Structure 1
């Protein structure tokens, strides 16, 4: 583990003006915050953030980024707070630490949901400042280096898979190839241990058999360039096990059949010498057709610049050669991090990169975790081609892209309104595959809308996300319209017209947020017609299991009274089975049974009460309700229909009050129990003719 002074000296070596006090404060704060915490390896936890900071010093990053690396786990794993970080280290460091911390607080239920939420928070954080990504990549790289200390195989494999799917592609997209290669190698060793061991062992055998072949070819290449006046640094290496395994899988060949497992790099002084060196190499050895790529004139989207070629060396051995300047080499090694490396009088770049903005747009459009992962992987992987607008603007697209992908790459609105395309001046269908260097003009119409069949040939994550978003919205609008029609048909079949508040009450009973969701559920069959009718007007759907209330042949059983003692159900509150009840002795020795909430009971000394309960088979009693009706023809018929539909029985009805608008009726109704009564009242309230219905 780096000591405090060693870390500061590393930073000061490339940035003499670095804020030494900031780095010292961060080191001491992190060490105290993590205290006695241990990692799976048994090492002090504090060693991890220091090693992460050490990795970033190799990239010559600024002092704020180094301090962020030292502090990146303090908020997540200790009692330290964002407020403390802001107060001690400033707004910038606090913002960066918060961006890295956001990734850790994930409690999703499935692997896809967890990975997608990880990615979602990550993209949002790094879209604000790319240094969040640099710290997180260094954090993940060190975790991968120590992955073997984790005891659970499934956890190691999960971390390795996430590294392979998300972090290695992100490292590639910002041009940090050394990070990418090491992450892929470490993850590959965990995910496919047998394949890793097999390829590694075979490569070692080939090296032993070939002796110093790599050194000899490298020496020949350097000597040849020297003879032509080009001073080049030439190095050779075998390709990484994961890269070899992927080529074997894609081409369905054995390792022996792969001819380009050795790559050489020639670093020269100028761009002009790159092209001179290329010409010299091609004159000396035959070029492999289709393997030349000029990333100097058309850089990769991550800024990578170099010349790539493959030639057939002696003994029919294919070798890959990369030619670049020293500046290009720094960009290739450190990628976007090279822009943040300390440089005297350097101007910092824009902290947001265009492809990150594309990923954030995909994030906004994705409906499910699976869709988010699918589209972001599309955006991060794949070989690229270059296509131009009529004005000469360059757009990079995945190999196999079509004009519809190009349209969405230019602007979402252009993609939505695309009706055709001209490629190199000729009109072509939108499904035409673009080739490197094509000039593309999109033909548009304001009347056009995205089509579902575009998904058959759109391949970029941005295009597919935008198309799916529109289709989802359109399908939902159509589904809601169908559900609305079905709902009104259901309401028309209710025994009585429903009131204006019936739909709102139905939403509460069904625990649904809004009308559109109810209509959509009805149209998609997620809600049955019976469930919706019952929610709109309780009791509207006849339950065949409910039989009419049987004739009373014996007194209702009540527990708590001495056997043989008579009782009456109080006429003031009309208790029914299910109510909490008490007994009050009358002058003649009989008991009056009251609802506990009865107003008459309020005036009686509680010492004269007897707690009673309904018998196990108690069923059927008379309740009294007050129903206020609209003063219109047929209103009484409505309540009679509702009461009959609930299998209740009207025993008495009295008109209490009447004016030009409403009239109130007191109704004695026979019900099974309190639940039956509550459902009956809810059904009455849902009727359009009923203004109010209450128990009295």
Structure 2
């Protein structure tokens, strides 16, 4: 079970100088209110708000938002009322808790694509603080991680709702790390046979893929260093649901997936991104039509990066993503990466306000 002190230390590390007494108060309040309650797994209910708060802390959300992670179910699942929350934690925390509670009570029953899109638009339109959505996504992520303890009918309903509503919503807000995990977890329950079959095929290739990644990482690191470029490199195997989508959409076999293996290069500056791209294209032959400049032309959710695919000396194609450290954080965390906490007040920076407004406009 995750410890409150671990959450406290994470928030303290990301928000030095902030008053964190709010967090301790929220933890004690949640523990008292949820006392005696258990989850379907048999664990104390308090495990859930702690896990949600931990996800928010890792996203570097402000102390008020992490406190809401600890409190997000007290209005719905305990005898606590709004007056008590406002009295103990103030109007800001109450406002977010009420928003999360309101979202949880909206019924969603249709998997029809247009209805799902309308529902996502409704969620974006009804909140005036994006932290409400971020807390709800963290809540849904932990629920999906523990979905195996629920009856089959509920597993199917929650997984479908997650795939249709919450994963795309995370994508719209640029929160790819949460979106990706929600998709993979949903796929596991919605199409268990397809999931198991594909996982087996991926596992059969995993060892050779990891060996290949390590080899190209060493080669690229050496060439970048020779060019005077400071860089950190990370390899990955494509996510199982993303592979599933590509196989189905393009009607291809697994060995035809260009980005089954990918390399990520993180450098200090934008000029370094383009310099690294030049090093790669001098090293290996690029695949025609696979170069994408999302730095010059960012995606609507704020994602920026250079993408290319190259052919290795052995004839294996693989994808490379090149970005700065700031771009990488935005790619992983999306709108949460822009949330600032300064001078005792939390709030979005200008980019966050612009992106949040754009999301709502896109939802109309």
TM-score, normalised via structure 2 length: 0.92
Query: Does 1:178 pair with 2:177?
Result: yes
Any residues of structure 2 matched to 1:140-151 within 5 Å, and which?
A: 140-150=140-150
List runs of 5+ in structure 1 lacking aligned partners.
362-696
Query: Does 1:73 pair with 2:76?
Result: no
Deviation at 1:115, TM superposition (A): 6.3
Any residues of structure 2 matched to 1:209-608 within 5 Å, and which?
A: 209=208, 212-342=211-341, 348-349=348-349, 351=353, 353-361=356-364
Take 2:347 and 2:125, find their aligned partners in 1: how far apart are those partners? 24
Take 1:347 and 1:162, find their aligned partners in 2: how far apart are those partners? 29
SS of corresponding position for 1:316 = coil
C-alpha contact 2:339 2:347 (8 A) present in aligned 1 = no
Deviation at 1:49, TM superposition (A): 0.9
Deviation at 1:161, TM superposition (A): 1.3
Take 1:337 and 1:33, find their aligned partners in 2: how far apart are those partners? 28
C-alpha contact 2:11 2:63 (8 A) present in aligned 1 = yes
- Number of the residue aligned with 1:123: 124
- Number of the residue aligned with 1:410: none
Gap change, CA 1:344 and 1:235, over 3 Å in 2 = farther
Take 2:71 and 2:18, find their aligned partners in 1: how far apart are those partners? 17
SS of corresponding position for 1:273 = helix
C-alpha contact 1:200 1:241 (8 A) present in aligned 2 = yes
Greater strand share, structure number? 1
- Number of the residue aligned with 1:23: 23
Take 2:26 and 2:53, find their aligned partners in 1: how far apart are those partners? 11
Gap change, CA 1:191 and 1:342, over 3 Å in 2 = same
- Number of the residue aligned with 1:94: 94
C-alpha contact 1:102 1:125 (8 A) present in aligned 2 = no
159-168 or 15-24: bigger deviation: 15-24
Deviation at 1:359, TM superposition (A): 4.8
C-alpha contact 1:238 1:262 (8 A) present in aligned 2 = yes
Q: Which deviations, in whole Å up to 9, do the C-alpha atoms of 1:47-94 show, x marking residues without a partner? A: 101110011111111111011111111101111112221121111111
Take 1:84 and 1:180, find their aligned partners in 2: how far apart are those partners? 34
Deviation at 1:123, TM superposition (A): 2.2
Take 1:36 and 1:8, find their aligned partners in 2: how far apart are those partners? 24
Take 2:117 and 2:230, find their aligned partners in 1: how far apart are those partners? 48
Deviation at 1:114, TM superposition (A): 9.6
SS of corresponding position for 1:303 = coil
Deviation at 1:110, TM superposition (A): 6.2
- Number of the residue aligned with 2:12: 12
Gap change, CA 1:210 and 1:71, over 3 Å in 2 = closer
C-alpha contact 1:123 1:359 (8 A) present in aligned 2 = no
Q: Which deviations, in whole Å up to 9, do the C-alpha atoms of 1:614-652 show, x marking residues without a partner? A: xxxxxxxxxxxxxxxxxxxxxxxxxxxxxxxxxxxxxxx
Deviation at 1:344, TM superposition (A): 7.9
Gap change, CA 1:58 and 1:210, over 3 Å in 2 = closer
Deviation at 1:202, TM superposition (A): 1.1
SS of corresponding position for 2:286 = coil
Q: CA RMSD in A?
A: 2.3
Name the larger-Rg structure.
Answer: 1
Query: Does 1:208 pair with 2:211?
Result: no
Take 2:85 and 2:362, find their aligned partners in 1: how far apart are those partners? 29
Take 1:66 and 1:147, find their aligned partners in 2: how far apart are those partners? 23
SS of corresponding position for 2:223 = helix
Take 1:215 and 1:270, find their aligned partners in 2: how far apart are those partners? 25
SS of corresponding position for 1:16 = coil
Deviation at 1:314, TM superposition (A): 2.0
Greater helix share, structure number? 2
Take 1:66 and 1:209, find their aligned partners in 2: how far apart are those partners? 41
Deviation at 1:318, TM superposition (A): 0.8
- Number of the residue aligned with 2:139: 139
Deviation at 1:7, TM superposition (A): 2.6
C-alpha contact 2:270 2:323 (8 A) present in aligned 1 = yes
C-alpha contact 1:125 1:132 (8 A) present in aligned 2 = no
Gap change, CA 1:117 and 1:49, over 3 Å in 2 = farther
- Number of the residue aligned with 2:82: 82
The higher relative CO (CA closer than 8 Å, separation ≥ 6) is in: 2
